[in-house]
Amino acid sequence: MNFRNQQHLVPKIVSALCLVLLIGLLGFVLFAPKPSKRGVASRQRQKEVGILSETNEARDRIKEASTFADDKLWKGDEQNLAPAALAVVNRLVSESKLKMIRFQPQKTAAAGELNQVPFVLTVEGSYLDTLKLTESLEKPENKFVVNLVQIASADPNSDAVTGTIGLSAFIKPPLPDSPPALTVPKKETRNGNS
């Protein structure tokens, strides 16, 4: 290479750098250590163990969350839910000194992995007693969600009101058996022992 001509200096430097880089890359390819089968298998096994461990941890977290939610769900099937809900509502209405006018189940709807069973409850009595009933329906042990409260005057000459309360109860449909926890396969050695 002739570096005396200033006009061709930059292309000559770039060519020289590319040549050095190409020689270095060729040397790396020829003399770099090759991965051993044992090393590749070991890394693959570590990845498998990590994935299986994460999967089992996720299943445990799901099981814990499911156990927490089970305390807030109604047990049994949908056919037995309406009579059980009526018994709870009837007890709460009588404790609140109200008169139950109507308790009507509505069409069941899917809400994610749960079934939502809505009810419409109509009561008659005082305004404060109707509010107390609404509060007692929402207590966790009663397992209802109040999603509507409408209160209207029943008689202009008294404090009697008619309250319409929309309730929802959630029930978990039976699930198929979950698969067993994943386990790490045992590593076999050359003589067949693990």
pLDDT of 162 reads 93
**pLDDT tens, residue by residue, 39-73:** 888 888 899 989 999 999 988 888 887 776 677 78
Query: Quick one: which of 121, 173, 127 has its CA closest to 146?
Result: 121
Burial of 165 from C-beta contacts in 10 A (0-12 / 13-18 / 19+): buried
78: Cβ contacts below 8 Å, ≥ 6 apart: 108, 115, 117, 171
Is the pLDDT reported for residue 159 higher than 60?
Answer: yes
